[in-house]
Structure 1
Amino acid sequence: MLGKTYESQVCSIARALEVIGERWSLLIVRDALFGGATRYRDFQHNLGIATNVLKTRLDSLVQAGIMYRHRYSEQPELFEYLLTEKGRALAPALVALTEWGDRWATDEQPPIFYIHSTCGNGITEQTMCAHCGRVDEPAEINAILGPGHPLWTPATGEGPAGSAG
């Protein structure tokens, strides 16, 4: 069984999961990004989440720099939770997870669509090669070691043959 941290993993996916991998965290970010939720009561109402869990998740998102607390009233003292640049940068990952869920996690029609507010056309997340363009086949994607991996060799710019990080 996995613990709460992935210290033995040298992998950016594992690092991301440590920050945002708890399911309520992603749903809070989703509601903030695409539903305009900013206030505690909005998140609680939309998600039906227990108040103690919501407080813990919001505190962890603030601590991780994904959201920040902004006081919008002094009497009574009330706060809203706003996304930072780091939090807004999760939008493509959430669009990709939505597309995956629409295809593989249900037999139903998609419950929501993402559209471009400027032109009204659909938004999709795509895997792109900087040289060739769109890559549709996962078999065409290789994972190689990068400079953040302990086995990476600076002289050659790569790790042991056939290894992935």
Structure 2
Amino acid sequence: MTHELRSGCPIAASLDILGDRWTLVVLRDVLLGGRTRFSELAVDESIATNILTDRLHRLVEGGLVEKTADPDDGRRVIYRPLLPAIDLIPVLAELVAWGSRHTAVPENPVFAAFVNPETREAAVSQVMARLTAQVR
């Protein structure tokens, strides 16, 4: 994963890859939602297809997601997370917890284990282990 750094700050470098409105939402769906196909990713948040195409391209180019032929239909592709994306799960869990505490988002049972400080670490470990086992 290489890109031109605009500064020597690791936060700025991370935001160069992840810091727009849709990238973390796409990663959420790939990492936590188990979505692998373009059509699945386009549904929930009503992301425009050109934006989704761009974000997926950036994630593939950035080494966070791989794009492979669908084994069930070679004309289609699937997107799978790679280890750098899986390493973001603790960050996503903290964003879930922060958003649940500080915004008016309704409770979502899908994220309950991340919201609860007593179960967050175990939930993160479980998701990371499951996804890491799927990486070739």
TM-score (norm 2): 0.74
The verdict on how the C-alpha distance between 1:65 and 1:6 changes in structure 2, with shifts beyond 3 A counting, is: closer
Aligned-partner Cα distance in 2 for 1:55–1:98: 25
Q: Helix, strand or coil: the match of 2:36?
A: coil
- RCO comparison, higher one (Cα < 8 Å, 6+): 2
Question: Following TM superposition, where does structure 1 have runs of at least 4 consecutive aligned residues deviating by more than 4 angstroms?
Answer: 73-76
Matched, 1:111 2:111: no
Aligned CA distance change for structure 1 residues 70 and 114 (closer, same or farther; 3 Å)? farther
Q: What's 1:10 paired with?
A: 8
Residues of 1 paired with 2:47 and 2:106: CA distance? Answer: 25
Equivalences, count: 115
**Long gaps (5+) in structure 2:** 123-136
Which residue of the partner structure matches residue 89 of structure 2? 91
Evaluate the alpha carbon distance shift between residue 75 and residue 82 of structure 1 in structure 2; reply closer, same or farther with a 3 A threshold: closer
Which whole-Å CA distance do the structure 2 matches of 1:55 and 1:79 have between them? 12
Structure 1 unaligned runs (5+)? 126-165
The equivalent residue for 1:57 is 55
Return the offset for 1:73. Answer: 4.5
Question: Counterparts of 1:67 and 1:54 in 2: how far apart (Å)?
Answer: 13
Amino acid at match of 2:47: I
What's the Cα RMSD here? 2.4
Q: Secondary structure at the match of 1:96?
A: helix
- Tell me how far 1:77 sits from its aligned partner: 0.9
Q: What are the within-5 Å matches in structure 2 for residues 113-128 of structure 1?
A: 113-115=111-113, 122-124=119-121
In structure 2, distance between residues paired with 1:122 and 1:74: 36
The percentage of counterpart residues that share the same residue type is 30
Match of 1:20 among 18, 21, 24: 18
TM-score normalised to the size of structure 1? Answer: 0.62
Larger-Rg structure? 1
Whether the 8 Å contact between 1:96 and 1:124 is mirrored in structure 2 is: no
Bigger helix share: 2
3-state SS in 1 of match to 2:44: helix
CA pair 77-6 structure 1, distance change in 2 beyond 3 A? same
Q: Which residue of 31, 38, 41 maps to 1:40?
A: 38
Deviation at 1:6, TM superposition (A): 7.0
Structure 2 Cα separation of the partners of residues 70 and 6 of structure 1 = 28
